[in-house]
Amino acid sequence: MSEPITQIVTPTSLDYTFTAGGATERFLRGLKDGKILGQRCPKCQLVIVPARGACARCGVPTEDDVELADTGTMTTYTIVHIPVPGSDVKPPFVAATIFLDGADIGLFHLVHEVSLDKIRPGMRVKASWKPQEDWGFSLTNIRYFVPLDEPDVDVTELERRIAHA
Amino acid sequence: MRDVAVISFAQAKNVRDAGAVNEVEIIMPVVAEAIAQSGLARSEIDFTCSGSSDYLQGAPFAFVMALDGAGAWPPISESHVEMDAAWALYESWVKIQSGHADSALIYGFSKASSGKLREVLNLQLDPYCVAPLGIDSVSLAALQARALLEKSAYSEKDFAEVAVRNRANAKNNPKAQLAGDYSVDEILAEPCLVSPLRKHDCAPISDGASVIVIAAGDIARRVCKRPAWIRGIDHRIEPHSLGARDLTVSASTRLAAEKAGVNQGPIDIAELHAPFTHQELILRDALQLKDDVEINPSGGALAGNPMMTAGLSRIGEAASRIISGQANRGVAHATSGPCLQQNLVCVLEGE
């Protein structure tokens, strides 16, 4: 009996020129200048972030750019105890959905510099930006969000507004 | 069988490179146009089905992102085929036949300009014995063209005539990428790209999207003055191994045409998804089209060939001529795989 062939190697590689799209490109350029850009849907009026050029709910183009604050309210979260490959943020840290002030869709980001037993929905947070000289076309210009010394926001009220939009 | 008709068709302009826009931005205006034209509201369309390929987009599950362009709120009933969207139309037709839907939105799209299409298409071949050779889609088509020249009475002049007619027809198609007046002699004087194929024998590489709305009986009659009824639709596939097939004929097209009932009535127009001139000749023969049939009034895939949707566009082009009253009974064809491996045939008719 001859040896079974268990594998052969056939190297394959494909190169792509990936295009983010018009709206997302403006969003990424905005980050380079320290701005967070969302877009207002002409139909449901919700402000979507990151700007995608489309309202995922209505399936209509969004053209109206809206600059958002770098402060917001944390809704849901999880505490991550294992390191994330390629990330400088040391565990444990918080991965959270953050409703930036002026936005109607949660942005996914990290929350840090917070004692973990104090984490709660409705907490106010603010972006902690990298030094300006390190800014690129990336949401990682914001290292993470940190707690803001402000009263909590009623999350159920926030979520109800969006559900009924 | 339920009566089902195409009631709306829209497509993006076929272009070599759509530039910095993403797939959602290509699809969305076309979906909006097709829905507006259908006379149905988005919420009245029961089922959504798309055709695209992650290999073309360069990202896994990329079709999920494209849903942003189709509007998925409130949550919709949706499906996807990793094939030309003509097969998404087939799935939608089956869904309507089964009684689980009365209407459907079908869309297909691709942005081939993101990658190198000839290399991407290599990966659909047998991964052990064929793909590693690096043979590309145009070379395989050329192999088929050579076999046809050797075995049939067709000549390179016949290929050129197909190119001349399609390019001329495309002048009336505002969405065409390539159109114009050429002469057979002019084309034959050009050098071969991959022998025996010249540049004009090959469809261009295109970015694009197209959208069709179909609906069952009463709904179609209510919203559309003259629906394009799907009288028959069938698709057949041949073996993966190129050596196991006679490349000079299309047995799968012939069988699908028979099942779809192509020749049960006179045909006015045929929209054939032939990305290469010699393939139009093979398809014409397989469909047993008579000489008076107008072939590819839109210019066909030679005028613009966005992968994963050029087949759906053939159905749309045939249907829109029936809807407008220019034609009464037409056949549309879509293909997938190397050298016409898989073929779908759809018979459309006005009332």
Tell me whether residue B188 is exposed, middle or buried, using C-beta atoms within 10 angstroms of its C-beta: 0 to 12, 13 to 18, 19 or more: middle
pLDDT of residue B41: 93
* Residue B272 vs residues B75, B162, B259, B327: alpha-carbon distances, Å: 35, 12, 17, 16
Give CA angle at B8 (B2, B11), nearest 5°: 135
Give chain A's domain count.
Answer: 1
Chain B residues with beta carbon closer than 8 angstroms to that of A10: 127-128, 131-132
Reported as a single tens digit per residue, the pLDDT across A136-146 is: 999 999 999 99
Q: Report the CATH number of the B4-117+205-228 domain.
A: 3.40.47.10
* Residue B241 vs residues B86, B93, B217, B286: alpha-carbon distances, Å: 23, 30, 41, 20
The pLDDT profile of chain B, 351 residues, written as one tens digit per residue, is 999 999 999 999 999 999 888 888 899 999 999 999 999 999 999 999 999 999 998 888 878 888 888 888 889 999 999 999 999 999 999 999 999 999 999 999 999 999 999 999 999 999 888 999 989 999 999 999 999 999 999 999 999 999 999 999 999 999 999 999 999 999 999 999 999 999 999 999 999 999 999 999 999 999 999 999 999 999 999 999 999 999 999 999 999 999 999 999 999 999 999 999 999 999 999 999 999 999 999 999 999 999 999 999 999 999 999 999 999 999 999 999 999 999 999 999 998
Reported as a single tens digit per residue, the pLDDT across A3-56 is: 999 988 888 889 998 888 889 999 999 999 999 999 999 988 999 999 888 888
What would the two tokens of residue B149 be? 């020249």
In sequence order, which residues have a C-beta less than 8 Å from that of residue A114 and are 6 or more positions away?
A94, A146, A147
Q: Is residue A15 part of a domain?
A: no
Kindly list the domain boundaries of chain B, sorted by start residue: 4-117+205-228
Q: Tell me whether residues B28 and A60 touch, CB distance under 8 A.
A: yes
Q: Which of B21, B64, B78 to mutate to test the interface with A (most CBs of A within 10 A)?
A: B21
B142 and B196 in contact (C-beta within 8 Å)?
A: yes
pLDDT of A156 above 70? yes
Alpha carbons B51 and B176: distance in angstroms, whole number: 21
Instruction: Scan residues 99-138 of B and list those with Cβ closer than 8 Å to A.
Output: 111, 113-116, 119-120, 123, 127-128, 131-132
Q: Is residue A11 part of a domain?
A: no
* Residue B307 vs residues A15, B93, B203, B208: alpha-carbon distances, Å: 18, 21, 11, 8
In sequence order, which residues have a C-beta less than 8 Å from that of residue A86 and are 6 or more positions away?
none
What would the two tokens of residue B13 be? 């302009």
Paired residues of B108 in beta bridges: B51, B210
Q: Are strands A71-80 and A124-129 parallel, antiparallel or unpaired?
A: antiparallel
Interface pTM, i.e. ipTM: 0.82
What domain range is A95 assigned to?
A: 22-163
> Which residue among B20, B67, B70 places its CB closest to the CB of A22?
B20
pLDDT of A165 above 60? no
pLDDT of residue A164: 61
What would the two tokens of residue A162 be? 């969006």
Q: Which regions of B53-166 does DSSP assign to beta strands (E)?
A: 77-81, 103-111
The residue ranking higher by pLDDT, B50 or A1, is B50
Residue type, B88: A
pLDDT of A94 above 60? yes
